[in-house]
Amino acid sequence: MNRLKRKWYTWVHSRKFAKLGKDCNYPIETLTIEGHVEQRDHGSFRNNATMRALGNGKIIWGLRAGASWGVTFVANELIEVDEYTAIAEYSFVTDTTYDFAGNADSYRSAKMVTKPVRIGKNVFIGSRWMRPLVRLLSFLTLPLAPKVVSAF
C-alpha cells in the first residue's frame, strides 16, 4: 500500500472518533467505530478492528495503546484501556455479561450485568504464541493490574 493511500485511510477513520489525539495511525481499509470512542496520542489499530459503544457507553484508549487484527470491543457502560497497552489479534472485550445463577427459565430471561472494565498501564493481552496465563475462552472477572502479561 502506498503512502498516499495509508494517509487517506488514516484521515477517513480519524473522523469516526469522538476525541482523537495527535499522530494516531489507521492505515487500514476496515475499521468499525460506532458510538463514543476516544483515542489519545499515538494510537493505532490493525485491520478488522471493531469498537462499538452502545447507548451511553464509552470506549477510551490511552496513550500509545493499540489493538491488532480482528479485535472487538463492545461497551454498554465503560471500557478503558490505559497507557502503553496492547491487545492481540481476535480478542473480544465487553463490559456486559449475563447472570445465570438461580435462573430456572430460558437463558434469554437471564439478568444482564454491566460493570466498567479497566485495563491497566503496560498490559499486554496476548494470543496463541505465548505460554498462556489465561486460557482460551476464559472470562476475566477482575480488572487487570498494571504491568501484567496475559495470554489466550
The HSE-up count of residue 117 (CA atoms within 13 Å, CB side) is 24
Q: Show the low-confidence residues of the chain (pLDDT under 50).
A: 131-137, 152
Mean pLDDT of the chain: 82
Write out the DSSP string of 53-87.
Answer: E-TT-EEEE-TT-EE-TT-EEEESSEEEE-TT-EE
**Per-residue pLDDT at 36:** 95
**Per-residue pLDDT at 56:** 93
**Per-residue pLDDT at 87:** 86
The predicted-structure confidence for 37-63, as pLDDT tens digits, reads as follows: 999 999 888 888 999 999 999 999 999
